[in-house]
């Protein structure tokens, strides 16, 4: 079946699926950012750096196991934990003392971490880029509607809803999630009912960093792991968080889906200008809904 | 008393003379200043240039140097930044008083150094930078290029592709100057050689694009006979990875410059895609001549790794410097340049000549297909055809036109 | 139970409370009367640790608690019902209570069931988002939320403000019930009638200074004082 401009239905379907699988990683990382922004009100510029550290760490761990499938799973388990630990150190060491400062200060502090982490990565891994093989069980593609759909992309596609469900459960059904939602709006009152809000903040920050680490681990087999990946992702996820609604995890999902889909469809429809479609979508959203598509948490 | 005093004076005077003479003698070396990026991913390539150059220079020095003078060289790391590279070059010329400037993988810096060399009237030998402007539009008396440029890549690739049975093409690549230059070069020349080819469309992604899958899917949908992939150093490996994962290489034949080079194939190991058409200026295993084998053996012995194309550039640069000075007879820039024009040297890929008119070295190009080979941990090029230098050099007319602008 | 000794609280450079002293004994309802802006809420917030005093001391159950963060003061047994209610709007009634619960070991303390028995109207609203409740319902929730932290002292800041008389009546009953159950209460009010009906002792605060202290009978008799510092 042929749609307009000779585009066949099956190609469009595959492209949509590819776009959605890309969106998974964007969503996971963006959700971490939006949680930190929503609850702690910190615009964490270092989020991209944590994602990058997650990717490099995954590379090292997986390589220690000769880039086998087992190595990848172990890395997927450990790398985000390491990133979460780094987040804990950041929070306990510095941010904990700064919660009452205004946003601009927080932006600057997190920016300084971007620089520190960038140099740290260079120190530990050198400035060469790394390449991680796709784990064996995910190598190759399935033939879907006559087009190749890489197995790893299918893995990502299935993982997306799992994380979405998990985060929903966390924010809506667990005590931590409920307290966090209350603390995002009225931190003082949460303290007045006997809850140590600083502990909550620490927990949410660490969780957000963990998610960045997961994103980095998942992206590692798909691209060059290099310096500069922190800069490119941070712009994308900030835009996703803005168009989705600040602090709103569903908004992050929606934003990530929009981003991934417009990117994939754009490449199909106008491949010479494929790069700009997601940004056009962002501008369009902001013109009509300047506060974001979904409600901001504040 | 008086005679002892006289003796000491004489001894002091003589030793002073000797000292002066020996320091003047020691100062007589031929100094080369190399400005290049030695940090970051680019260093994989530039290290080969420097190391092969060092190896060749050591040999020349061991054989007595150039008319008795030793060749020495110093390096400066430009960290891929134009301003750093330029100030390093200035320091090399002013303080280190180098006779020749050499470098760099960064085309923008190479053009800046070329300009600087023109002002200072000092020879600049470009290594690795692939912009055709170096010996084209911005060429002049004091700049020489020791490697192929995008115009030559385009012409050579076109010459090879024209022999293949494909008529409808798709072009895709990194959306920056190098990518477009290569793509334009290949396509313009392919059309000239084979007028019936048609371009179905193009896709351009940002440099460092993390996920090629959507682009690959889109290209497959268009069903071209073949695809020209114009990626720069960074994206070659990830694109080939994506091609392997999606099976792109099995569905559509595609061409990529450096796809058959060891620097691209080694990191991918046995998971590199087969059947990819690539062009390269150097293979350690082809041509299988004594010269090449000896070169590879020496390099491997000294540095414990197989030489890649940068080693070829470094090696021939040393040969050109040594032979040109020897021909000139003295360390004189103008005489050096005159001697270098039209000069031929031996190299692992055969005899190569420095074209007098535009100062561009004439290198053969090897086009092959990636193939798995028994016993090797990474893929190699097979079915190699050689495109002789004459077929890939821009015509003198084109050069003249470009320089007039 | 509670002793506030000469506290001075500032908002930035603005001096709000001047040597404010008061006390609440176990089982008492003490009221803090004053006009709008007199410093009632500031006093409550200072006691709760939300705006610590620059000078002065606060002693609760024999311990110095000056400068402690609010969550620790709450855990020691102070429940806070702010004048702007401040329910957790995005959470349901049930969740508001759930996250505030501080179970007391051993004997029956306050839990969700007991709060619903105390305020039956809340039971039906368990799943409703707190932000959409009416004023009276929110007030019940705020009090319930403070109770579920199992306090010994309840700080009630203008609980009847803006509510219909029938709700006010119900709340008054409930507050007396709490007192009967052994809870001590510090009640801040503009409305002297409510204060006169509920309290044992009264303080009057005006412009950040304590101007009067006495038993409720004394205050009832002293019309001049009431006229001077409070709206009649």
CA distance B189 to B195: 10
And the tokens for B24?
């003047």
Range of the domain at C10: 1-67+187-232
Whether chains C and B touch (3+ CB pairs under 8 A) is answered by no
pLDDT at C123: 93
Of C69, C70, C88, the CB nearest to A182: C88
Cβ-Cβ contacts under 8 Å, A186 against chain C: 86, 88
Q: Supply the mean pLDDT for chain B.
A: 90
What DSSP designation does C183 have?
Answer: -
State the complex-level ipTM: 0.89
Q: How far apart are CA B204 and CA B143, in angstroms?
A: 32
Of B40, B234, B245, the CB nearest to A139: B245
Rounded to a whole number of angstroms, the distance from the CA of B40 to the nearest CA of chain A is 4
- Among residues B43, B35, B57, the alpha carbon closest in space to that of B103 is found at B35
Q: What pLDDT does C157 receive?
A: 94
The set of chains that have 3 or more CB pairs under 8 A with A is: B, C
Phi then psi for residue A88, to 5 deg, are -60, -45
Q: What is the pLDDT of residue A192?
A: 94
**pLDDT value of residue A68:** 83
> What dotted CATH number matches B151-286+364-404?
3.40.50.2300
In a domain, C110, yes or no: no
* pLDDT grade for C221, boundaries at 50, 70 and 90: confident
C100 and chain A in contact, CB less than 8 A: yes
> Is the previous residue joined to B104 through a cis bond, with omega within 30 degrees of 0?
yes
pLDDT of residue C231: 65
Chain A residues with CB-CB distance to B210 below 8 A: 219, 222-224, 229, 232
Residue-averaged pLDDT of chain C = 90
Total count of domains within chain C: 1
A189/C90 touch (CB, cutoff 8 Å), yes or no: no
Q: Tell me the C-alpha to C-alpha distance, in Å, between residue B268 and each of A46, A150, A152, B20, B120.
A: 31, 18, 17, 57, 44
Using CA atoms, how far apart are residues B249 and B388, in angstroms rounded to an integer? 27
Q: How far is C77 from chain A (nearest CA, A)?
A: 9
Q: How much is the pLDDT for C98? A: 94
Q: What percent of chain C has pLDDT over 90?
A: 62
Compute CA distances C125 → C94, C121, C122, C162, C172, whole Å: 8, 7, 5, 21, 22
CATH 3.40.50 fits A12-288, yes or no: no
pLDDT of residue A2: 44
Nearest CA in chain B to A125: B40
Residue A177's pLDDT is what? 93
Closest Cα to residue A62, out of A52, A76, A48? A76
Cα distance between residue C39 and residue C190, in whole Å: 11
pLDDT at B405: 63
CA atoms of B49 and B34, how far apart (whole Å): 10
Of the candidates B175, B219, B245, the beta carbon closest to that of A141 is on B245
Helix and strand tally (H, E) in chain B?
Answer: 15, 15
Indicate the range of A133-147, B118-132, B372-386, C199-213 predicted with least confidence.
A133-147
Q: What is the mean pLDDT of residues B130-137?
A: 94
Q: Residue B206: closest CA among chain A residues belongs to which residue? A: A275
A62 touches chain B (CB under 8 A): no
Express each pLDDT in C157-199 by its tens digit. Answer: 999 888 888 989 999 999 999 999 889 999 998 888 888 888 9
Residue B380: pLDDT band (50, 70, 90) is very high
| Interface A:C, Cβ pairs < 8 A | 61
In a domain? residue C84: no
Q: Which among C135, C161, C170 has a CA at the least distance from the CA of C36?
A: C161
Distance from the C220 Cα atom to the nearest Cα atom in chain A, whole angstroms? 34
State how far the Cα of A71 lies from the Cα of A234, in Å rounded to an integer: 27
Q: How far is CA B165 from CA B162, B194, B276, B278, B390, in A?
A: 8, 10, 15, 16, 23
Using the beta-carbon criterion (under 8 Å), do A191 and C149 form an inter-chain contact? Answer: no
pLDDT attached to residue B1: 56
Percent above pLDDT 90 for chain B: 75
pLDDT (0 to 100) of residue A37: 92
pLDDT digits (tens, 9 = 90+) for B267-276: 888 889 999 9
Please report residues of B whose CB lies closer than 8 A to that of A15: 214, 217-218
C152 has a pLDDT exceeding 50: yes
Asked if residue C109 has pLDDT above 90, the reply is: no
Q: Among the residues of A126-228, which ranges form H helices?
A: 151-173, 175-185, 187-192, 197-219
Answer yes or no: is pLDDT of B128 > 90: yes
Q: How near does any CA of chain B get to the CA of A16, in Å?
A: 9
The residue of A145, A147, A148 whose CB has the most chain B CBs within 10 angstroms, and thus the best one to mutate to test that interface, is A148
Task: List chain A residues with pLDDT less than 70.
Answer: 1-7, 298
Q: Are C202 and C33 in contact (CB under 8 A)?
A: yes
Shortest CA gap A271–chain B (Å): 4
Question: What is the rounded distance in angstroms from the CA atom of residue B168 to the CA atom of residue B151?
Answer: 22
Q: What is the pLDDT of residues B13-54, one digit of tens each?
A: 665 555 555 444 455 789 999 999 998 778 889 999 999 999
CA distances from A264 to A65, A167, A200, A260 (A): 34, 26, 38, 6
- DSSP state letter for A175: H
pLDDT of residue B377: 87
A195 CA to chain C: closest CA distance, Å?
A: 5
> Exposed, middle or buried: residue B89 (CB in 10 Å: 0-12, 13-18, 19+)?
buried
Residue A222, chain B, CB below 8 Å: the answer is yes
Domain residue extents for chain A: 12-288
**Chain A residues with CB inside 8 Å of C110's CB?**
none
Predicted local distance difference test score (pLDDT) of residue B8 = 67
User: Is residue B158 a contact partner of residue B186, using CB atoms and an 8 Å limit?
Assistant: yes
Instruction: Specify the DSSP element, H or E, that contains C157.
Output: strand C153-157
Q: Tell me if the bond preceding B287 is cis, omega within 30° of 0.
A: yes
Spatial separation of the C-alpha atoms in residues C194 and C192, rounded to whole Å? 5
What is the rounded CA–CA span in Å between residue A176 and residue A223? 35
Residue B229 has pLDDT above 80, yes or no: yes
The region that residue B156 occupies, defined by phi over 0 for left and psi between -120 and 50 for alpha, beta otherwise, is: alpha
Do A47 and A95 contact (CB within 8 A), yes or no? Answer: no
- Look at residue B211 and give its three-state secondary structure: coil
Closest CA in chain A for residue B218? A268
């Amino acid at each position: 079946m042929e749609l307009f401009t000779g585009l066949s239905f099956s190609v469009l379907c595959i492209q949509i699926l590819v776009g959605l699988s890309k969106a998974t990683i964007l969503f996971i990382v963006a959700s971490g950012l939006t949680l930190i922004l929503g609850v702690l009100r910190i615009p964490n510029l270092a989020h991209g750096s944590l994602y990058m550290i997650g990717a490099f760490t995954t590379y090292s761990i997986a390589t220690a196991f000769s880039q086998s499938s087992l190595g990848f799973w172990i890395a997927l388990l450990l790398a985000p934990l390491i990133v979460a630990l780094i987040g804990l150190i950041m929070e306990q060491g510095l941010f904990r003392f700064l919660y009452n400062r205004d946003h601009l200060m927080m932006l600057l502090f997190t920016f300084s971490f971007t620089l520190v982490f960038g140099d740290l990565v260079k120190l530990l891994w050198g400035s060469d880029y790394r390449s991680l093989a796709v784990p064996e069980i995910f190598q190759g593609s399935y033939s879907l509607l006559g087009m190749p759909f890489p197995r790893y992309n299918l893995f990502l596609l299935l993982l997306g809803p799992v994380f979405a469900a998990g985060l929903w459960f966390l924010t809506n059904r667990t005590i931590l999630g409920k307290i966090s939602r209350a603390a995002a709006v009225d931190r003082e009152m949460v303290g007045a009912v006997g809850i140590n809000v600083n502990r909550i903040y620490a927990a949410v920050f660490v969780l957000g960093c963990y998610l960045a680490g997961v994103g980095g681990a998942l992206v590692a087999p798909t691209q060059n792991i290099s310096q500069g990946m922190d800069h490119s992702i941070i712009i994308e996820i900030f835009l996703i968080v803005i168009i989705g609604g600040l602090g709103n995890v569903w908004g992050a999902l929606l934003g990530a889906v929009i981003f991934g889909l417009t990117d994939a469809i754009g490449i199909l429809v106008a491949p010479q200008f494929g790069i700009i479609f997601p940004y056009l979508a962002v501008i369009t959203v902001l013109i009509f809904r300047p506060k974001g598509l979904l409600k901001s948490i504040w | 008393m008086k005679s002892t005093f006289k003796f000491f004076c004489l001894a002091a005077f003589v030793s002073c003379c000797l000292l002066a003479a020996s320091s003047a003698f020691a100062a007589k070396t031929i100094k080369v200043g190399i400005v290049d990026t030695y940090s970051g991913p680019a260093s994989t390539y530039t290290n080969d240039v420097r190391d092969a150059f060092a190896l060749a220079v050591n040999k020349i020095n061991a054989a007595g140097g150039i008319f008795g003078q030793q060749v020495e060289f110093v390096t400066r790391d430009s960290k891929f930044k134009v301003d750093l590279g330029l100030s390093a070059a200035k320091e090399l010329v002013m303080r280190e008083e180098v006779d020749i400037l050499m470098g760099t993988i960064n085309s923008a810096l190479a053009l800046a150094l070329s300009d600087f060399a023109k002002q200072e009237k000092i020879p600049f030998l470009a290594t690795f930078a692939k912009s055709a402007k170096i010996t084209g539009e911005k060429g002049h008396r004091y700049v020489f290029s020791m490697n192929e440029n995008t115009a030559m890549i385009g012409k050579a690739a076109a010459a090879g592709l024209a022999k293949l049975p494909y008529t409808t093409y798709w072009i895709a690549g990194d959306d920056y100057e190098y990518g477009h230059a290569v793509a334009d070069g290949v396509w313009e020349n392919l059309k000239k050689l084979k007028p019936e080819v048609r371009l179905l469309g193009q896709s351009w992604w940002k440099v460092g694009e993390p996920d090629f899958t959507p682009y690959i899917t889109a290209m497959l949908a268009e069903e071209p006979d073949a695809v020209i992939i114009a990626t720069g150093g960074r994206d070659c490996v990830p694109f080939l990875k994506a091609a392997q994962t999606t099976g792109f290489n099995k569905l559509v034949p595609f061409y990529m410059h450096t796809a058959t080079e060891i620097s691209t194939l080694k990191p991918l190991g046995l998971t590199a895609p087969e059947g990819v058409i690539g062009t390269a200026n150097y293979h350690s295993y082809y041509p299988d001549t004594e010269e090449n084998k000896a070169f590879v053996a020496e390099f491997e012995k000294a540095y414990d790794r197989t030489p890649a194309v940068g080693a070829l550039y470094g090696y021939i640069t040393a040969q050109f410097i040594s032979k040109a000075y020897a021909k000139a007879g003295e360390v004189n820039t103008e005489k050096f340049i005159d001697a270098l024009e039209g000069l031929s040297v031996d190299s692992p890929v055969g005899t190569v000549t420095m074209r007098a008119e535009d100062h561009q070295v004439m290198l053969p190009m090897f086009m092959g297909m990636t193939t798995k080979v028994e016993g090797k941990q990474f893929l190699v090029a097979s079915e190699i055809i050689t495109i002789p230098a004459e077929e890939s050099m821009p015509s003198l007319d084109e050069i003249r036109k470009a320089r007039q602008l | 139970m509670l002793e506030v000794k000469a506290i001075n609280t500032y908002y930035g450079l603005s001096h709000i409370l001047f040597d404010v002293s008061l006390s609440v004994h176990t089982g008492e309802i003490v009221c803090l009367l004053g006009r709008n802006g007199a410093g009632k809420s500031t006093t409550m917030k200072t006691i709760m640790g939300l705006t610590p005093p620059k000078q002065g001391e606060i002693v609760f159950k024999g311990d110095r608690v000056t400068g402690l963060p609010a969550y620790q003061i709450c855990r020691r047994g102070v429940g806070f019902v702010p004048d702007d209610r401040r329910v957790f709007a995005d959470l349901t009634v049930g969740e508001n209570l759930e996250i505030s619960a501080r179970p007391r070991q051993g004997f029956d303390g306050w839990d969700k069931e007991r709060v619903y028995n105390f305020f039956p109207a809340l039971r039906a609203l368990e799943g409703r988002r707190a932000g959409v409740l009416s004023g009276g319902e929110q007030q019940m929730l705020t009090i319930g939320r403070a109770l579920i932290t199992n306090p010994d002292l309840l700080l009630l800041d203008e609980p009847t403000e803006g509510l219909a008389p029938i709700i006010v009546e119900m709340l008054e009953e409930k507050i007396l019930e709490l007192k009967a159950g052994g809870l001590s209460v510090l009640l801040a009010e503009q409305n002297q009638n409510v204060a006169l009906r509920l309290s044992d002792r009264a303080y009057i605060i005006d412009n950040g200074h304590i101007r009067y202290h006495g038993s409720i009978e004394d205050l009832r008799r002293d019309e001049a004082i009431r006229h001077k510092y409070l709206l009649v």
